[in-house]
Structures are given as C-alpha cells and as structure tokens.
Structure 1
Amino acid sequence: MSILTPRDVPLGGLRAMTVRRTLPNRQRSTIGAWCFVDHYGPDEVELSGGMNLGPHPHTGLQTVTWLFQGEVEHRDSVGSVQLIEPGQVNLMTAGTGIAHAEHSTGRVPVMHGVQLWVALADKDRHIPPFFEHHIAPRTTIGDAQLIVFVGSLTGDTGTVTAATTTFTPLLGAEITAPAGSTFTIPVNTTFEHGILVDSGSVEVNGELAEKDQLAYVEPGIDSLTLTIGDEPARLLLLGGTPFEEELVMWWNFIGRSHDEIVEFRNQWQEDVVLEGNPEGIFGSVEHGGTVIPAPEMPHVQLRPRKLPRP
C-alpha cells in the first residue's frame, strides 16, 4: 500500500479554479482505468467564481462528474444539456472526440466535488461519443453510508449496481462514516483500489490516510477494513482491474502516440478558429462562453505514461 499526495493545479484561465490532483502523478498513472482525479472545494462560488469551463475537447476517455455540494450545468457537442446535483452522476464518453462546457449555476453557494477520467482501451476508444446522467444507488455497511456511481458494491441491502456504462471493470463510490467507526467493504480481488480522503482521516487496512491524500491498495485482497479517525469522514473509493495499455495523455486528450496527440490538437485548433466546424471530430457546443484554445505543444516528444506494476 502507498499514499499519494496531491498537487495544486489551476483550471479555467484567468479566473482559475484550483484543484488538488492526485492522479496522474510520479508514483502512479492509473488505478484500474481511472487515470485522472481532480478534487476541489469546498469553495464559495461568490468569491471563487466556481466552475467556469468554456467549451473544450476530449478524446479517448470518459469523464465522470461527482459533486459533494453545488450545482453544475453541462453542455456538449452531442446536444446534451444537463444539471447535476449531489447524488447524481454525469458520465460523458468522448470516444473519437467530443466538446463540452461546465459551469456553476450560482444558485448553490458552495462548490465541492471531484472530476474523474476513465481511460478507454484501444478497442473501445474509437466509438461515437455519448452522454449519460443517472441517480446513483445507495447502500450501507454498518454505520457507513455508500453511494455507488460506477460499478457494483455489496452492502447491507445486498449488491447495488450503478447504471453508468463502462468498458472495463470499475468501481466508484462515495462513503460517509461517523467518527470512530470501523467497517469492512468486500471488494473484487482482481481490482486495485484508491481511497481519496475528502474530509477527516481513515486507516485503510491499518495504514493512515489524511485529508486530500489518496491511499493506493494493490490487487489480491478481498476486503478493505476502514477505521475512521476522531472526526466524521467522507471518502471516495475507486477501483478497477489494472489497465495494461500504454497511454499518451496531454491536455484534454488521451491517445497512443505523440503524432496522434498533435493531430487532435490541430483538429481542435481548426474548430476553434472556425468557431464550430461541422466537419471536425469535436462538433460545437451551444454555449455563450469562450471556447478554450489548446496550449502550445511541448518542445519534447510525448512519451507513454506507464509505471511498473507491484
């Protein structure tokens, strides 16, 4: 087991929202197919500006939006317009290419949540883009409350399964538990897991993880025993079978080579210049905000991100 610590990353241009990113990092690129974990808030929208991301592109991945507090409006180039609140999940499958925008509505004063990415395997990454919105099912394990937004989890009420579409075996769940409680979650032995601490602290199979840290647990165990510290805790449980393909990740794109990323960037820049290119792979978003152009490519060859497995 290892503990991953976050780094602060600004998003959204001049009025940037700062997020705490634990994946990818130097220690680990993926947990299952989860390849990106941004944790933000709680922020007062009136002071911070909240989430304000104009139209931007994605390829080769799924985005998973999960809120602890707040309200966000999603719009994308396949025509989706959807509000999301806590207890609901937005899952957007980029496939060959999609553009979307996300904005705080301002009706809820606090923004707090996570933005997650799932890497698509090579056999799946060329599918047409689509969008889903679901209410996540709930269960309990002892004193802990669990909301399952991806995959399946067995609790006191039996096995609950999220309605979200995934292409590799995955798990995503929010856990809230009172101070001093201990409970054991049965898990798939083929999965590796990450436990992100949003608030409080937790011992995971005897090892301490504190606020904003992500505890990584190797495959091969059939349960996670969690012991909450002196304050109530909120945790995010992520899991999946180890992702064995090499990935090239840059900006909002996931591909398999430097040249492929260059092609994605050039296509997006063409779409931006044309303010929506019906012949392009990304389409256009019905949105009043400013389209986000791609940054300049680095002056080095992009290399795959893949770390040795334990």
Structure 2
Amino acid sequence: MTNLETRPTEVVCEGKEGTEVQIIGPRDVPLGGPRAMNVRRTLPSRERSLIGAWCFLDHYGPDNVAETGGMVVPPHPHTGLQTVSWLFTGEIEHRDSAGNVAMVVPGEVNLMTGGRGISHSENTLEGGNPVLHGAQLWVALPDEARDTPPMFAHHKPEPIKGTGWQVRVFLGSLLGETSPVETFTPLLGAELLIQPGVIVELPVDPTYEHGVLVDTGSVAVGVDGHHASLVKKDSLAYTPPGSETLTLEATEKTRLLLLGGPPFGESIVMWWNFVGRSHEEVVAYRQEWQDQITRDGKVVGDSQDVRNGRFGVVAGNHQRPIPAPPLPNARLRSRS
C-alpha cells in the first residue's frame, strides 16, 4: 500500500523506555478522495519509530466496498523496505514491476521486497467479497540488503490450535512453527484468535521486542508473569526485549497481530513510500520517480530505459501512477 497523504508529516519519535508494556493509540489517516478508505496508523508514532524492523503499521476496515470503493491504489514506488499484506476479509489484486501478479486473500501472506526500487498497484476487483478488512505492514531493510533486487513471496500458514485459541505464523517462528518466507532481519509475524476468558502463554525470544496490534476485542498483555496492561481495539502494545514469556488474556473475543524482532539498530529516513539513510537519498528517489511520470500522471512512454529504471513499469495496469507529494520545507530527519 502507498501512503496517500497529500502532505505526509514528519513524525519525530521519542521512544519511552523503561516500561514493561507501552500502549500506543491509533491515528486516523484517510487514503484520499471523498469516498476515502480510512486506515488506523499505530507505527510510526510519536512514542515509537520501529518494533524490530517493523516500521509502518496500517490497519483498516471492515469497510463496505460498495460504499468506500474499496482499495484503489494505482502504481507507486517503494525503496529500502518489504511490504507485508495480511487480510481478515476481502481480496486485493497485487501487480508489480517485477512481473508479479497475485491475489491477497484472508489467511495468506504476500510479501513484496522493494529493495533498490519497485513500483506496484493494489486494487479491489469487482465481484469479490464486499467487505475489506486487513493490515498493511512495512519492514525496513538493513543497510546491507536495501539494494537487493525486487522480489515477491506468498505463503499460506496452517493454523496452530489450542483450547480457545488459534495461531497462524506468517513470518518467523512461534510455537514450533516456522514460516518459509525470507526476511533480511529476524522477524515474527502471527495472527492470533482468542476466545473470551482464555489465557495464552507464549514462549518468545528474549532478544526480541514485540508489538501486539489488536484488531477486534481487547486483551490484557503481560510479560514474564508481571502485571498485565489492557490493550483495546485498534491499539498497539509494545514490550521491550528481555522477556521470555508473553501472556495474552482475552477479555472478549479477540483477534490480534503479534509482531516482533530484535531492535533494528540502524537509523532510517522514512518519507512517503521511501526508506533511505539520508535526506539527500530520499530526495533523489523522489526525483527519479517524478522523472518517470509526466505532469498528467502518465508513464513517460513505454521505453526500455523506463522499464529498466529503478522503479520499472507495472505491466497490465492502466491507471495513472501516483505522483510524489511535495517535500517538506525542512530536512528530513532520521529515526531509530
């Protein structure tokens, strides 16, 4: 997914360390237009920039596609990151300039590696599920991998079931299940369904920091048997490294995403759809994208040099590419 804010603001993040569980509330972001689909963004926030390499968490729906128009995201660029698409209901067609065409459907993860540069589109198709509901997540690539060629992966994780709970591990390892999807830093990504009153004790990697993003219901989150904090619908709980057990107690029927990874350890500059390492680098990415499209939003021809450029051309898509928004009137600052 692209960040369709016409004037994306720079978020200065000041991590608050020293608390066992930190609660981060969402902010509403409309994805453009009078029938805009709204997303709830919890990362980045003023409280925190990253959880492991997870650098961007958007959560949306349930939306009636007939009312909102669904997801209509024309070709747009990415650098220095991986996008992780996870749906609860609905379906979205993905197309990218590396030649990949795939459907995003519930319970199956699509991971796109932008690397040195890619462009892609995401669109709801007519005749599909009328309700769209899911999450779009970004992962920052470490310095040694951020110029990797673009690629795409798909995986359908089998559910792990217990009494009153179910887990699908789409990235990394949990409860003895390991996803085959390649990432460039250690990561955890899983969906949990928990029935009311059920307590789930999860053994977790103590080198990881974790995030619990609540989709429906509410859950009390505790670490290593210490006092639990209640996390309500649409909010994100952060737990720092050092814990070996994560306790989740559903106060009502709850669905959540559990995300994690070791602290990223690198500063990044993230603006619009680009992750770089300096102001100048992001400005150059933006200019390369703008040079590829004309003022009316059409791709400059279909020449071989455009196809072989940093962002390429999304084959089979005839929407006008999304122009980059204006840069802020100040230097972009790094976050870590």
TM-score if structure 2 supplies the norm length? 0.88
Q: Which residue of 2 aligns with 1:283?
A: 312
Q: Which runs of 5+ in 2 are unaligned?
A: 1-20, 223-227, 295-299
Structure 1 residue 55: deviation in Å? 0.2
Larger deviation, residues 116-125 vs 267-276: 267-276
Structure 1 spans left out of the alignment, 5+ residues: none
Report the Cα distance in structure 2 between the residues aligned to 1:226 and 1:80, rounded to whole angstroms: 37
Q: Indicate the residue corresponding to 1:228 in structure 2.
A: 250
8 Å Cα contact 2:96-2:119 kept in structure 1: yes
2:241 equivalent among 219, 232, 239 = 219
Q: Describe the SS at the equivalent of 1:266.
A: helix
Q: How far, CA to CA, are the matches of 2:104 and 2:112 in structure 1? A: 13
Q: Is the 8 A contact 1:12 1:52 kept in 2?
A: no
On the 8 A contact 1:137/1:149 being kept in 2, the answer is: no
The one-letter code sitting in structure 2 at the alignment partner of 1:196 is L
CA contact (8 A) 1:141 1:183 kept: no
> Contact 2:35/2:67 (CA < 8 Å) preserved in 1?
no
Q: Does the alignment pair 1:95 with 2:131?
A: no
1:238-282 superposed Cα distances (whole Å, 9 cap, x missing partner): 000001100000000000001000110000011122155224200
- Alpha carbons of 1:275 and 1:87: their partners in 2 closer, same or farther (altered >3 Å)? farther
How far the C-alpha of 1:11 sits from its partner, in A, is 1.8
Q: Does the residue aligned with 1:149 lie in a helix, a strand or coil?
A: strand
How much has 1:137 moved relative to structure 2?
Answer: 2.9
Distance in 2 (CA, whole Å) between partners of 1:241 and 1:207 is: 22
Question: After superposition, what is the alpha-carbon deviation per residue over 1:49-90, rounded to whole angstroms, capped at 9, x for unaligned?
Answer: 111100000000000000000011000000011012111111
Q: CA deviation at 1:14?
A: 5.5
Distance 1:61 1:221, change over 3 A: same
Distance 1:92 1:176, change over 3 A: same
Structure 2 counterpart SS, 1:128: coil
Map of 1:155-304 to 2, 5 A cutoff?
159-205=176-222, 206-229=228-251, 231-273=252-294, 274=300, 277-286=306-315, 287-304=317-334
User: Which residue does 2:132 correspond to in 1?
Assistant: 111
Give the letter for the 1:267 counterpart. E
Q: Which of residues 122, 125, 128 is equivalent to 2:146? A: 125
Contact 1:195 1:238 in 2 (8 A): yes
Superposition deviation, residue 110 in structure 1: 0.3
Q: State the superposition RMSD in angstroms.
A: 1.1
Structure 1 CA distance, aligned partners of 2:255 and 2:308? 45
When residues 222 and 275 of structure 1 are mapped into structure 2, their CA distance, relative to the original with a 3 A threshold, is: farther
Give the match's secondary structure for 2:281. helix
2: CA distance between counterparts of 1:151 and 1:137?
14
Equivalents in 2 of 1:12, 1:61: separation in Å? 23
* d(CA) in 2 for partners of 1:64, 1:27: 22
Query: 1:12, CA displacement in angstroms?
Result: 4.6
Cα 1:185–1:141 shift into 2, 3 Å: farther
Bigger strand fraction: 1
In structure 2, distance between residues paired with 1:101 and 1:38: 17
Secondary structure at the aligned position of 2:326 is classed as coil
Task: Letter of the 2:209 partner, please give it.
Answer: E
Change (3 A) 1:290 1:48: same
Count of equivalent residues: 301
| Whole-angstrom CA distance in 2 between matches of 1:262 and 1:66 | 30
Q: Which amino acid is 2:211 matched to?
A: G
SS state at 1:123 partner: helix
Report if aligned partners of 2:37, 2:63 keep a CA contact under 8 Å in 1: no
Contact 1:74 1:82 in 2 (8 A): yes
SS in 2 for 1:262: helix
Given the two structures, how large is their TM-score scaled by the length of structure 1?
0.95
Alpha-carbon separation, structure 1, partners of 2:90 and 2:272: 26
**In 1, distance between residues paired with 2:116 and 2:255?**
35
Quote the Cα distance in structure 1 between the aligned partners of 2:206 and 2:215: 25
